[in-house]
Amino acid sequence: MKVTKEIILSKKSKEKLVALTAYTYPIAKIIDEFCDIILVGDSLGMTIYGMKDTVDVSLEMMINHGKAVTKACQKSFTVVDLPCGSYEQSKYQALESAKKIIEETKCDAIKIEVDKSLITTLEFLVKNNINVMGHVGLLPQSVRKIGGYHYQGTNHSSAQEILETAILVEEAGAFSLVIEAVPADLATKISQTITIPTIGIGASLECDGQILVIDDLLGLNQEFKPRFVNNYEELAQKISQAVENFADDVRSKKFPKKNNLYHFQY
């Protein structure tokens, strides 16, 4: 099992970190062999529950899926998102939520979406022995406030704000930082400025690692296709074909076959 020290040292060794999301035991078990970090992301709101965004994901959802994923992982460093509404009220609320997730799921760390107003909360978590991964740029839990999923840092003032926040995240004690949906030049500058590993999603090749939502990688998500996604497989089409074949066999009485059945002589 990887530890935060190994994750941090990867920046000096220039060995790229491989990160993916997982929400279920079978998927986590498969990808554990290849990943450095597995994130139980609040993106499960959309991938598992059919929500339009992550805002209504609950702490209980994160814990339930976190339990399944960490149970499967033997190698990867596991991180669970703090969901919207579980940390914004106060640093004490954030600590209670983080402790609950870690105690019940046995994960290695939590991730928190950060703007400058939450730096003191992040620092408080770290001081209370919580491993924290920060998240800057596009903050999916804020999409209703900003009017959708849009690239961030596209002008000088917003880019400077994100850079300054990233620096503060490191100073507060986070062991790594996710940078989502910002211009490549900005993500590169952040990666070159801070000493903790950066993990990009729609950011820059120069980030210290990359993360994708597993459903996007596998081509399962047919409705939401951001430009930074690369489909390494088109499983939605293959699943559809398999189910069509099954339906045809059932209706034509080709399934179940004799070897699919158990026979007993009375």
Domain assignment present for 187:
yes
Nearest 5 degrees, angle CA 45-CA 80-CA 36? Answer: 115
Record the tokens describing residue 232, joined without a space. Answer: 């390494």
Confidence of residue 164 (pLDDT cuts 50, 70, 90): very high
Domain assignment present for 255:
no
| pLDDT, tens digit (0-9, with 9 covering 90-100), for 62-112 | 999 999 999 999 999 999 999 999 999 999 999 999 999 999 999 999 999
| pLDDT, tens digit (0-9, with 9 covering 90-100), for 195-222 | 999 999 999 999 999 999 999 999 998 7
Domain count, the chain: 1
Domain assignment present for 198:
yes
Q: Which of 73, 53, 170 is nearest to 123 (CA)?
A: 170
| pLDDT, tens digit (0-9, with 9 covering 90-100), for 166-194 | 999 999 999 999 999 999 999 999 999 99
Record the tokens describing residue 185, joined without a space. Answer: 């030049």
Buried b / exposed e over 10-40, threshold 16 CB at 10 Å, is bbeeeeebbbbbbbbbebbbebbeebbbbbb
Domain assignment present for 266:
no
Report the half-sphere exposure of 4 (CA within 13 A, side-chain side): 17
CATH number at residue 51: 3.20.20.60
Domain assignment present for 240:
no
| pLDDT, tens digit (0-9, with 9 covering 90-100), for 126-160 | 999 999 999 999 999 999 999 999 999 999 999 99
Provide the pLDDT for residue 6: 84
Q: Which domain holds residue 43?
A: 4-234
Give me the catalytic one of 33, 180, 223, 244: 180
Question: What is the DSSP-derived secondary structure letter of residue 21?
Answer: E
Provide the pLDDT for residue 229: 84
Q: Phi and psi of 179, rounded to 5°? A: -115, 115
Domain assignment present for 226:
yes
Nearest 5 degrees, angle CA 47-CA 52-CA 57? Answer: 70
Residue 180 a catalytic site member: yes
pTM above 0.75, yes or no: yes
Provide the pLDDT for residue 2: 64
Record the tokens describing residue 220, joined without a space. Answer: 């399962």
Domain assignment present for 241:
no
Record the tokens describing residue 134, joined without a space. Answer: 């920060």
What amino acid is encoded at 32 in this protein?
A: D
Buried b / exposed e over 144-161, threshold 16 CB at 10 Å, is eeeeeeebbbeeeeebeb
Query: Is residue 212 helix, strand or coil?
Result: strand
Domain assignment present for 118:
yes
